[in-house]
Amino acid sequence: MQKKIRCVVGMSGGVDSAVSTFLMRERGYDVVGCTFRMFDSPGSQKAVADAKQIAEFLGVRHEVVECAADFKEYVMDYFVNSYENGLTPNPCIMCNKFLKFHYLDEVRKKYDADFLVTGHYAKIKRNEADPFSSVELHRAEDKTRDQSYFLYAVDPNILRRAIFPLGGYAKPTVRQIAAQNGIHVAQKSDSQDICFIPDRDYVSFIRRYSTNNSGFESGNIVDRNGIVLGRHKGIVNYTIGQRKGLNLSGGPFFVCAIDAIRNEIVVSHLENLRENVVHLRDVRFLNGEFLGDCQVQVRLCSKRTNASVCKNSEEYFVQLYSPEFGIAKGQHCVFFDDTRVIGGGIIC
């Protein structure tokens, strides 16, 4: 009798990972469910309980992996430190890069599994004749749910083992599959953008979490020439492109820079906030270095725009064909060739 191919599925307790587990079981895989306990909260406890219930219902093995210490270091500390230093973080990208896929791959090795699986809306294209050779990461069919932007920084060696079963589905279909097959989280609401801040009040979270509260010290609001226009309430309260809450005359003004060293918020009129060159650090490519024309996405909620990836002796940078509004240091610029993810880097 032929041995089943084994996979490890990251189970968050939500409908997406539940349906991913169901689909892999239906496709004949030997499935092991894995849930990460990344921080302690009522929501986190509920997620673990839901994941255990789903695994039991579907008849798959399940284990809980404790990773709170690494989550604190690579995600929560990074998040707070970024805001205190005038940067705009993306904790989901860092969690995927340093935590989720790393731990999932360790569990895969523990169970001698062939693949690791998550409920991300993205696609992996592989050579079926040699499925563990280099693979391509692509956008999901449902572009409104696509999460490939969050995955560009995952180790390519780990992506070679990845399967994303939901890449060809729309969210309503996923909920329908769950409901038709008796999965109790079929109508469970989607997780928040920042899982460890369920009320979305990131400023209050930083105040509670920070060890020095340096980002809450009042300072000057200045124009691009350094002329003082007013006072701010602490740099963590402001983001690039922000207009509300500045309380300045002569506007409208928008935040164009956050200077943590001087504790200053720099503002300008809208016409001065469009940039056509994006400087990058920590650039990584999924299938070898790429230079030239492509499409880029400079933040999660922005549309992709035509650009060219360039390199000089010191750094990679992106030349945008059309100037982009509100480019923020600390955010991620991701490169695409149509649906394929080429790579990306952190805006500096």
Q: Which residues are catalytic?
A: 95, 195
Give yes or no for a cis peptide into 252 (omega within 30° of 0): yes
DSSP one-letter string for 274-325: EEEEEEEEEEEESSS---EEEEEESSTTSPPEEEEEEE-SS-EEEEEEEEEE
Integer Cα distance of 108 and 90 in angstroms: 26
Pairwise CA distance, residues 201 & 295, whole Å: 33
Q: Which residues does 307 contact at the CB level (< 8 Å), separation at least 6?
A: 278, 293, 294, 295, 296, 318, 319, 320, 321, 335
Question: DSSP assignment, residue 39?
Answer: S
Distance of alpha carbon 164 from alpha carbon 121, whole angstroms: 7
Q: What is the dihedral of CA 53, 54, 55, 57, to 10 degrees?
A: 90
Residue 77 tokens, joined: 């500390």
Instruction: Please tell me the number of Cα atoms within 13 Å of 121 on its side-chain side.
Output: 17
d(CA 334, CA 297): 5
DSSP SS3 for 271: helix
Q: Are strands 219-222 and 264-268 parallel, antiparallel or unpaired?
A: parallel
Paired strand residues for 163: 117
Helix (H, G, I), strand (E, B) or coil at 16: helix
Tell me how crowded residue 122 is: count the other CB atoms within 10 A of its CB.
23
* d(C-alpha 3, C-alpha 232), whole Å: 64
